A and B are shown apart, each in its own frame.
Chain A
Amino acid sequence: MKITLIRITFFLALFLIWYLVVAITQIPSYILPGPLDVFESFYIGFIKGNYLISIFYSMIRVLTGYFMALGIGIVTGILLARYYFLDITFGRSILSLQSIPSVAWVPLALLWFGISDNAVIFIIILEAVLPTALSTKNAMKNIPSNLIKAAQTLGSRGLHLYKNVIIKAMIPELVTGLRLSWAFAWRALIAGELFVSGAGIGQTLELGRALADMSQVIAMITTIGIIGYFTENVFFGIIEKRVRIAWGVE
């Protein structure tokens, strides 16, 4: 309660300072708009404009890429954990891919897929597959071996063993990996959208720049931050916590 109050006061003060700075220094609004301009841009953008549609298309894109990345990443991770040979060869090379930021893939994606959704989805998959695969691999390697041995002597093997023990035992660590992959996917989405046409958050942001509409630019940056925060921290945070409790990790 007290913390909430402090937070509200803090943000109000921040807006006030922002307002005063813009009002006093008379900075042109295409460089730094005041808070009211940005609120107006939000209001008009959501009620009459295309902000909701942009968010909708961006979500479709990112979810498509994300779920494809999960499928590919989980299978890859399991293979890397199971086959030592794959890990020391393929596993090593994908590790080095992880240090490449998503924008670096944009030129390649545009040449392969054109300025289309597919280019964006491709970048998202590239970015999200790696953390998924790595966390899957680690989750699998960290399964206590006695759990598997106990299950095997109880008659579990093959699909039953995978479904009821291996996957289940991996879940807490996997969820943490999925959260990380989501964070990567979200960033890759915006990076990709800046360069392609169509409806989307990144496109709207880029359009704001082209029209020198700094209010729209800031409105979109805020939107990216808010959605990112709620999905990464609130949504995944709750899931992670629940899983940890159900698995007795906490």
Chain B
Amino acid sequence: MNRPVVRLDNVTRSYGETTALAGVSLTFHRGELAAIVGPSGSGKSTMLNLIGTLDRPTSGTVEIDGHDIATLGDQELSALRAMTIGFVFQQFHLAAGLSALDNVAEGLLYTGTPLAERRRAARSALERVDLARRIYHRPNELSGGERQRVAIARALVGSPRLLLADEPTGALDSRSGDTVMALLRALHADGTTVVIITHDREVAASLPRQVQVRDGRIVHDSSRDRVPAC
């Protein structure tokens, strides 16, 4: 339980004059479920992108699943994303021309898994998000909540150790949002480390750990209330 899946050490990310993230240190252990909250422009997405290895820090160290990403090249970073990290985005990012099944199967495309096996895994992933009866629907034939569930299925189809969600309920009504949150909780219950950016205070409060960000700094981390930083 105590092996860190994510470790940020004094991480800074600047865009020219703007500093999106200023010296952030943060650790997520295996099996954690955490919310990142904060006002717009505070650096939440920047942080999540760094954790997801989609971006590199200007300074500081990012360690994911034990790998210092500064030492990894494009090929290894890509492998890390393909096998260890799953992403869920606010805008779903589904391919319009593909069925739900094939959208989910794309989640395994870059792992080198053969198509038949990808589809088999996609089918069971869609069953997990309760969309077994929608597998041949295209995104435009699905509701917003269903689309996000397809996106979650795509993120979990490769059984990633770490799931990152950037405002997964931001584009959904509250009922669909609740379903999506329930799914993410279930994933966490199965052992996945889940980190969720959310604007919704209620949602954030319902999660075991909240990390509050403002102006590129962590202003509050609920885990420090109980466990002193080690």
Q: Do A and B come from one complex?
A: no
